């Protein structure tokens, strides 16, 4: 497969956006990404989205958006992998352009989920889990994650407050991200007194849903120099896609031999490391899928940044901040940037590109050259890992 680069990024603020329809939100992010790339069009459009059919009564998002943004008759489809839909769409764009079948593509993610009733949105999100073996028992999606966290606390002996640094770091970083949903510094005290949602997951362990879209433009590196020169953007580093992999696990958490180990994260990270020729110690920042704080810990462990059961230690030792050993959620993460589910995986990529370009004002990781993003669908069922590198 030929080497690829990300030459354009776009995003909309994650918010409660009742003023725009799903096509308007997605169109905005895609047009920003094209503008950032200095391109008018691409050969393909891959849309990550989970809930448009259920919540917006709208499928066929691929064709809808290709038309809406003026990509007449372009190849376009929607990719669904629950909350991992965004990175799954990027995977498809990578294979489409990498194969030579297309010369360029947009991978975008969009979700509109706040305009419906809360119970409706919660029921829709539950379709990410196993309908026949999990949801039928009355579990919600947060309920499943609460069971995992409960077990983690029991197995490894951590206190609930040991997870506070994940949330505190995410909120602090989001203060510097104008696209983040939450702009509110929180303290350990806030975390402790936060309202319980599903024991032991409290409000500050959980990411807020939201409406939003993000998009990136993928082209082959071999075609990059003439394009960039023409657009006057060749002062920016070239951001290559050095590693990309997607793996799955059982949808129902109870079917796993070890419910506290994200095998799909481990596998996809291992493949991505090998492709990129790097190891965990080479990663300068890591956008984790912190839908719930427990997921940050599990991801850090599965990807080799912490020993099994030791994820919370990284937070307690200050290693996850922008100045730490392995900065995570550097633009706010799902926790504070917000979690418009099908869009999240692309927001993460946009944020890694910002870091590698040196455009992450306020939370810039000094000298960031290699960044990683990991997007999770279901409670660890579909996990895609991408590693980007800056060529200066």
Task: Tokens for 161, please give them.
Answer: 């407050």
Residue 230 to residues 217, 221, 248, Cα–Cα distance (Å): 16, 15, 41
Q: Annotated catalytic, 339?
A: yes
Residue tagged active-site, from 73, 83, 160, 386: 83
- Taking the complex as a whole, the smallest distance from the CB of residue 111 to a second copy amounts, in Å, to 12
- Taking the complex as a whole, the smallest distance from the CB of residue 95 to a second copy amounts, in Å, to 4
Nearer to a second copy, 1 or 361 (CB): 1
Nearer to a second copy, 126 or 224 (CB): 126
- Taking the complex as a whole, the smallest distance from the CB of residue 205 to a second copy amounts, in Å, to 22
Query: CA 110, CA 215: separation in Å to the nearest integer?
Result: 9
Q: What is the DSSP string of 148-183?
A: HHHHHHHHH---GGGGHHHHHHHHHHHTT-TT-S--
Query: CA 161, CA 171: separation in Å to the nearest integer?
Result: 16
Nearer to a second copy, 30 or 135 (CB): 135
Residue 325 to residues 145, 268, 298, 319, 330, Cα–Cα distance (Å): 27, 22, 17, 5, 13
Nearer to a second copy, 53 or 324 (CB): 53
- Taking the complex as a whole, the smallest distance from the CB of residue 107 to a second copy amounts, in Å, to 13
Q: Annotated catalytic, 303?
A: no
Question: 86 and 382 in contact (C-beta within 8 Å)?
Answer: no
Nearer to a second copy, 48 or 200 (CB): 48
- Taking the complex as a whole, the smallest distance from the CB of residue 364 to a second copy amounts, in Å, to 32
In the complex, the residues that contact a second copy under the rule CB under 8 A are 1, 21, 23, 50-54, 56-64, 66-67, 73-82, 88, 91-92, 94-96, 98-101, 123-124, 126-132, 135, 245-251, 255, 263-264, 267, 377-378, 381-382
State the DSSP H helix or E strand holding residue 202, giving kind and residue range, or none if neither. strand 201-202
Residue tagged active-site, from 160, 171, 289, 339: 339
- Taking each helix axis as running N to C, give the angle between helix 293-302 and helix 141-156, from 0 to 180 degrees, rounded to the nearest 10: 60
Active-site positions?
Answer: 83, 339
């Amino acid at each position: 497969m030929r080497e690829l680069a990300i030459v354009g990024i776009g995003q909309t603020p994650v918010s409660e956006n009742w003023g725009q329809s799903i096509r308007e939100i997605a169109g905005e992010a895609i047009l920003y990404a094209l503008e950032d790339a200095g391109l008018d069009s691409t050969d393909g459009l891959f849309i990550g989205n989970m809930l448009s059919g259920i919540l917006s009564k709208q499928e066929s998002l691929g064709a809808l958006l290709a038309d809406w943004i003026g990509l007449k008759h372009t190849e376009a489809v929607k990719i669904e992998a629950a909350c991992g839909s965004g990175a799954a769409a990027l995977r498809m764009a990578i294979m489409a352009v990498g194969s030579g079948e297309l010369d360029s593509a947009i991978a975008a993610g969009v979700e509109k989920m706040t305009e419906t009733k809360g119970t409706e949105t919660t029921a829709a999100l539950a379709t990410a889990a196993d309908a026949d073996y999990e949801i039928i028992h009355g579990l919600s999606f947060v309920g499943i994650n609460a069971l995992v966290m409960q077990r983690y606390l029991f197995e490894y002996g951590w206190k609930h407050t040991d997870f506070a640094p994940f949330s505190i770091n995410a909120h602090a970083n989001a203060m510097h991200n104008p696209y983040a949903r939450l702009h509110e510094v929180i303290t350990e005290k806030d975390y402790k007194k936060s309202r319980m949602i599903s024991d032991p997951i409290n409000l500050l362990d959980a990411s807020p849903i939201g409406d939003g879209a993000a998009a990136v433009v993928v082209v082959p590196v071999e075609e990059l120099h003439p394009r960039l020169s023409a657009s006057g953007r060749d002062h920016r580093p070239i951001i290559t896609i050095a590693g990309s992999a997607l793996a799955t696990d059982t949808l129902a958490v109870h079917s796993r031999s070890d419910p506290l180990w994200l095998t799909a994260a481990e596998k996809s990270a291992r493949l991505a490391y090998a492709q990129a020729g790097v190891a965990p110690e080479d990663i300068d920042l890591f956008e984790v899928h912190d839908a719930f704080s427990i997921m940050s810990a599990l991801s850090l462990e599965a990807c080799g940044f912490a020993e099994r059961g030791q994820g919370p230690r990284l937070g307690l030792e200050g290693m996850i901040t922008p100045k730490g050993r392995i900065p995570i959620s550097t633009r706010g993460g799902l926790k504070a940037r917000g979690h418009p589910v099908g869009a999240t995986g692309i927001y993460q990529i946009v944020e890694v590109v910002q870091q590698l370009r040196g455009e992450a004002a306020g939370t810039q990781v000094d000298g960031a050259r290699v960044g990683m993003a990991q997007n999770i669908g279901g409670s660890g069922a579909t996990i895609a890992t991408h590693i980007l590198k800056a060529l200066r």
